[in-house]
Every structure is written in structure tokens, then in C-alpha cells.
């Protein structure tokens, strides 16, 4: 499973041909442009890499976009995907730079970042301003500053374990200050 999803394969898929998108770990930019035209959800969960140009093309897609296989994301790709309108699933990300978090915080829609196990204070501050449902169920702990930043998140926030408890306590402290 290390083939490249090309424009020709994408066109075959779009015409209803027997193509399994999960067989491809990378795709060329022209394939991304073609797939972005598809209506409805688009699951590209086996992709392990995504060029900045492909991210920019996929940001034009209408419907939910699942990219579970990505474990990292460049700042430019994050900026492109932030413009995407729909549910954005990036649950395979293992780390997120502060700049990428700042960019993704601008995304208007549901944002799944369940693969992250830690989050810097700056990244938490940025994501705390995200509008929409935010999934961070992979976080294993949070600093007090990060918990306070996420406690200010206005939409739905999904967390687990210690991170959930830390944000709950931070929200209680914020409520007492009002």
C-alpha cells in the first residue's frame, strides 16, 4: 500500500469505477483538484502525506473531509485546510505546531484532533478560540494555562481523562470569577 493516487485514478473513482481510495498513501496535486469536486464526504484515510497544493485543492471540497492517516501537517497545509467548510478529521496527527494550531483554529466547522496526546499552551490558546465542535480526546494531560485556554472554548469540546477534568476545573474557576 504505497501507491500514488493519480489524476487518472481519481477520475475513474469519480466516474463510479472500482477504486479503493484507501489503497493510496499519497496523491498528486491534480488528483486532489479532481477529488475536491466530489459532492459529499471524502475519506482519504490512508494518505500519510499531503502537499500544500493538495491541501489547498481539498479545501475547496464540499462535505466532510477525513484525513486520518496524516501524522503531521505543515503550516501552509494547515492554513489551506482552515479555509475548508465542513467537518475536518485530522485525528491521525501526533503533533501540532503552534502556527498550525493557530491556522486550524480559524476553521469554521467541526475539527477532530483526537490523535494529539499533548498540546502546548500557545496551541491550546489558539484552539480555545475555534468556533465549532472540537475533539481532543487523545490528550493525556494539560497544563493549567492550556486548560484555562480551552475552558474558554465556546462550542462543544470533547476531551477524556485528566484533560477533561482539568478543563472542568478551569471552567469552574472562570465561573467563580464572573
| Sequential pLDDT tens for the chain (178 residues) | 458 999 999 999 999 988 999 999 999 999 999 999 998 999 999 999 999 999 999 999 999 999 999 999 999 999 999 999 999 999 999 999 999 999 999 999 999 999 999 999 999 999 999 999 999 999 988 999 999 999 999 889 999 888 888 888 888 887 888 6
User: Which option is the CATH number for 39-177: 3.20.20.70, 3.80.10.10, 3.40.50.1100, 3.90.1150.10?
Assistant: 3.80.10.10
**Cell numbers that stand for 105 in this block:** 483554529
**Cell numbers that stand for 1 in this block:** 500500500
All structural domains of the chain with their residue ranges: 39-177
Global pTM? Answer: 0.90
Amino acid at each position: 500500500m504505497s501507491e500514488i493516487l493519480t489524476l487518472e485514478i481519481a477520475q475513474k473513482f469519480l466516474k463510479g469505477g472500482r477504486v479503493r481510495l484507501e489503497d493510496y498513501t499519497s496523491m498528486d496535486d491534480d488528483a486532489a483538484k479532481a477529488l475536491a469536486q466530489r459532492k459529499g464526504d471524502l475519506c482519504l484515510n490512508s494518505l500519510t502525506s499531503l502537499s500544500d497544493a493538495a491541501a489547498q485543492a481539498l479545501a475547496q471540497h464540499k462535505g466532510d473531509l477525513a484525513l486520518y492517516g496524516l501524522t503531521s501537517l505543515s503550516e501552509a497545509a494547515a492554513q489551506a485546510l482552515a479555509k475548508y467548510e465542513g467537518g475536518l478529521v485530522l485525528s491521525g496527527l501526533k503533533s501540532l505546531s503552534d502556527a498550525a494550531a493557530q491556522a486550524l483554529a480559524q476553521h469554521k466547522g467541526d475539527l477532530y484532533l483526537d490523535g494529539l496526546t499533548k498540546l502546548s499552551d500557545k496551541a491550546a490558546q489558539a484552539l480555545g478560540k475555534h468556533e465549532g465542535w472540537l475533539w481532543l480526546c487523545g490528550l493525556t494531560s494539560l497544563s493549567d494555562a492550556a486548560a484555562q485556554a480551552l475552558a474558554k472554548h465556546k462550542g462543544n469540546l470533547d476531551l477524556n481523562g485528566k484533560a477533561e477534568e482539568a478543563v472542568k476545573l478551569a471552567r469552574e474557576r472562570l465561573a467563580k470569577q464572573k
